[in-house]
A and B are shown apart, each in its own frame.
Chain A
Amino acid sequence: MTQPADVADRLTEIVGPRGVLRRPGELVVYRSDGLPGYSKQPRLAVFPRTRDELVSVVRLLADQGVAFVPRGAGTGLSGGALADDVVLVGLNRLTRILSIDPVERLAVVEPGVVNVALTRAATPYGLHYAPDPSSQAACTIGGNVAENAGGPHCLKYGVTLNHVRAITAILPDGEIVRLGSAEGELDGYDLLGAFIGSEGCFGIAIDITVRLSPNPQAIRTLLADFTSVDAAARATSEIIASGIVPAALEMMDGATIRAVEASIYAAGYPVDAEAILLIELDGLEAGLEADVARIEAMCAAAGARTVRIARDDAERARLWQGRKKAFGAMGRVSSHLVVQDAVIPRTRLPDVLAIIREIAERQRITVCNVFHAGDGNLHPNIGYDANNPDEQARVHAAMREIMSACVAAGGTITGEHGIGLDKLDYMSLIFSEDSLAAMCRLRDVFDPDHRANPGKVVPVHSCREWHGAPKAAWTA
């Protein structure tokens, strides 16, 4: 079998000595991604700088039968970018925006382009890239594609999948394929749709063609504050049922508000509130005020103490910064933070949030909620000390109970963070063995040797055909 040292040398020939990390000390930083509680050390890490280098790297790994894990910025929250003793392919040096076409409203980017950098580059044309995960200042478009990432404004504008027109991908065996079309419609199977959200198991995007959206003519950002989570949840359900589609509808509970207000990201949220809704309406100027008035009335009827409307862009930016940096602010509360992710039908918000409170009390853990209320996408965040085994066990028990409660309410186990490593055990809560087996066969189409992000997304025991499959090198 090929020795890791040989592969490292060959990789170095492709990307140069500064493009390969092989000493354990250098690799420590790549042991984790945005999810605490897991630590997996890659055997090697390689960082191609160009398309050609990336292609050569993947083809070398294919020739050598070596397993690999693609990684963007490592901000993922499901352990999807952890490489357990295999090769980590870092894509964060492929940062070129290849083209921006303001007429077609399309951009072509390399996978390592940071999400917000694309919006910045599109700003002079009055355009932006709509999917806006909270980590948008750091996360990459390639990572967004792998996870089918969302964000607050996906309520109105859709998730990553709705904004990607085409991808040039390199499959694990080194073949380069074009998925989708930037020029027009295609028929046949939606292989682009299958690739997006495949969490690095189907290959690596070499370039990505995305839609850019025109900036709205007008924006209104509202902050409604409530004395109970329940009242804010009811207001959310009312707004959604009204048929008005806000650009974003976010909720933060009291614990989160107070953490944010105590941090450098203080946004001016009322610290005595038990819940706030951050509601953004956008679109044509005409008619916007009437919708704002309806939303204000619905919030008041649900028990809002006040509804404040941001007076200018600066105030709007401040209100959003508090929301987007809430996870960071929670670092003040505890040493480790699990940002959980689940989706429920929107009418179930009040009762599921009550169940989560009950679970937290019974398991003696702290849960803060900051989430995309408008599409029912919960983020119950659990602060804890990972060095305390008893507390860690209670956190895991609580997470399982929360997931089960969301599934029982008709929901799903992840809305935008992916399955990765963290949620493998929950897959059988929502998918039958038949469905999981079909997913395994789908993966086999793209990666018959199981070398791309091995062990993620679908539990190995569900893959009926895997028993006779060749074992990839370096996968214990």
Chain B
Amino acid sequence: MDRLTVPMSVASSPAVEQTASGSMTPSSAPLRPSTTAEVREIVGDAIVHKTPVRIVGRGTWLDAGRPVEATRQVSLDGLTGIVDYTPGDLTLTARAGTTLAEIARATAEHGQWLALAPWGSDDGSLGATAATATAGPMSGALGTPRDIVIGIEAVAGSGELVRGGGRVVKNVAGFDLTRLMVGAWGTLGILTEVSVRLRGLPEHEATLALALPNAPPALADVVARLRSAPIAPLGIEMVSGTLAARLGLGQQPVVIARLAGNADAVTAQRAALGAFGDVLDVADGVWTTLRAADPVEATVVRFSSPVARFPEVWLAADRLATAGEGHVHASLLRSSARVVLPHNEGAPTDAALELLRDASRDTRIFERLPRALWPVLAPTRAADRLSQGVRTAFDPHRLLNRGILGETRS
């Protein structure tokens, strides 16, 4: 394999802009629909003129960097508002551009919350969270968007207005369009409305930090014992020493655990965790800081593995983070490590790139990469016949976010 070089020139036809991280140069001002009907008009127009569109939620998230071919950008920051919220049902429906912060405010008034908490901040939109299936530190216990989203409305690339699921928590009517749209990165349809299940806010909670051993055998032992300990954390995340320092938790790797429940439950879990060593009370805000800890310019990659291999995956991820002068954190519940490599002049360090090139390919997912590295490090996951067929079934003209899944350019 050739040595990776950055940047790599990407050919583009003169009529089509190549848009990517930090270089979004749409040929005209973004379209900002405020109703589903306007979204339909935009897609209808794109079909007639065969003009590919790029879909953006509120534009607040760090760009994933995957090259998208588009002549127009559709921004959903005007398609906002909670459409339906009956607290007693613990479900909520909102337009796609609604911020997670607005939903958090509305639900907190009734002692409830939407347990998505994706990487990034609550300024991001519900639609983007669903479209990218972004799952944060609570997802091991409380589910990913694939578990939490119960219904969608979308304008498919075919121009059709489709609905999947509904506003109830259990639903098997028809083929599951909701599951397909969640995590499809907008390539099947532009989400216009999303319905989600909510949870009651815990009566009590506490976040504790526990120091971790560095030596591999001791680490494996602690991880195994934590997994069977009498605790039911909402989140339990290992963080590297570098990240711990940024979170104000010292210089050594630590585990932070978010315990919740009634007073008795929290007290007992605190004691159970205390059996592992000295624990430190940490302000709940650490989770918000952790979610937003990625630098603006960075490569982000997740390594997931069977539980038995978690310690070795953690150590490999830690080596990569060290080589890239970045940090790593990992969900013990999901057995998934997330490495953040800051960019210097648009790319991670050479040492980190070497490791990325050598790493096993089957268990890693890139969240963010320099544009030129996508085709090299992360060839498409949507090349199989079924995925191609699904794309064609919903977006026959390949108009929506063309290229974002790494699919072959048409």
Contact = CB atoms under 8 A, between A and B. Distances in A.
Contacts of A49: none
B164 interface: yes
A162 interface: yes
Contacts of B269: 284, 286
Q: Identify which of B176, B267, B302 gathers the most chain A CB atoms within 10 Å of its CB.
A: B176
Given A243-B200, A431-B163, A189 B387 contact: yes
A381 interface: no
A435 B170 contact: no
B104 interface: no
B394 interface: yes
Contacts of B387: 188-189, 191
Interface string B226-267: 001011100000000000000000000000000001111111
B307 A438 contact: no
A345 B87 CA distance: 11
Nearest to B91: A345
Contacts of B385: 175
A132 to B, nearest CB: 14
B230 to A, nearest CB: 6
Interface string A197-210: 11001000000000
A435 B168 contact: no
A154 B306 CA distance: 25
B88 A187 contact: no
B396 to A, nearest CB: 9
Interface string B314-338: 0000000000000000000011100
Interface in A256-286: 283-286
B48 interface: no
Contacts of B184: 189-190
B316 to A, nearest CB: 13
Contacts of B133: 190
Contacts of B170: 150, 154, 159, 343, 372, 375-377, 415-416
A445 B180 CA distance: 13
B386 A446 contact: yes
B135 to A, nearest CB: 9
B66 to A, nearest CB: 11
A375 B231 CA distance: 26
Contacts of B308: 103-104
Contacts of B349: none
A345 B168 contact: yes
Given A287-B264, A445-B386, A241 B90 contact: yes
Q: Identify which of A241, A375, A430 gathers the most chain B CB atoms within 10 Å of its CB.
A: A241
Contacts of A135: none
Given A415-B170, A446-B386, A289 B264 contact: yes
A456 B267 CA distance: 52
B275 interface: no
Interface string B262-288: 111111110000000000000000000
A191 B265 contact: no
Contacts of A415: 168, 170-172
A290 B203 CA distance: 12
A197 B405 CA distance: 25
A79 B232 CA distance: 40
Interface in B291-312: 302-308
Contacts of A290: 262-265
Contact of A435 (B112, B164, B306, B405): B164
Contacts of B172: 147-148, 159, 197, 414-419
Contacts of A366: none
B168 A191 contact: no
B88 A237 contact: yes
B386 A184 contact: no
B152 to A, nearest CB: 11
A159 to B, nearest CB: 7
Interface in A146-183: 147-148, 150, 154, 158-159, 161-162, 175, 177, 182-183
Interface in A405-440: 410-419, 423, 427, 430-432, 434-439
Contacts of A177: 384, 386
A286 B166 CA distance: 36
Interface string B155-184: 010101111101111111111110110111
B59 interface: no
Contacts of A194: 175-176, 179-180, 390
A249 B137 CA distance: 29
A80 B163 CA distance: 23
Interface in B29-80: none
Q: Identify which of A189, A191, A288, A427 gathers the most chain B CB atoms within 10 Å of its CB.
A: A189
A410 B167 contact: yes
B163 A442 contact: no
Given A186-B381, A189-B382, A432-B161, A419 B173 contact: yes
A347 interface: yes
Contacts of B334: 185
Contact of B180 (A410, A417, A442): A442
Given A415-B171, A415-B172, A441 B386 contact: no
A287 B262 contact: yes
A415 B161 CA distance: 23
A343 B172 CA distance: 10
A344 B163 CA distance: 17
Contacts of B171: 343, 412, 414-415
Interface string A435-459: 1111101111110000000000110
Nearest to A238: B88
Contacts of B350: none
Contacts of A14: none
A196 B168 contact: no
B382 A442 contact: no
B179 A190 contact: yes
B199 interface: yes
Contacts of B200: 242-245
Contact of B393 (A410, A418, A427, A442): A442
A414 B174 CA distance: 9
Interface of A: 103-105, 147-148, 150, 154, 158-159, 161-162, 175, 177, 182-191, 193-194, 196-198, 201, 214, 217, 237, 240-245, 283-291, 343-347, 372, 375-377, 410-419, 423, 427, 430-432, 434-439, 441-446, 457-458
22 contacts: A184-B335, A187-B405, A189-B183, A189-B188, A197-B176, A240-B88, A243-B201, A284-B269, A345-B91, A346-B88, A346-B89, A376-B169, A410-B168, A411-B168, A423-B173, A432-B163, A438-B162, A442-B393, A445-B386, A445-B393, A446-B389, A457-B174
Interface of B: 86-91, 111-112, 133, 143, 146-147, 156, 158, 160-164, 166-177, 179-180, 182-184, 188, 199-202, 228, 230-232, 261-269, 302-308, 334-336, 362-363, 365, 380-382, 384-387, 389-394, 405
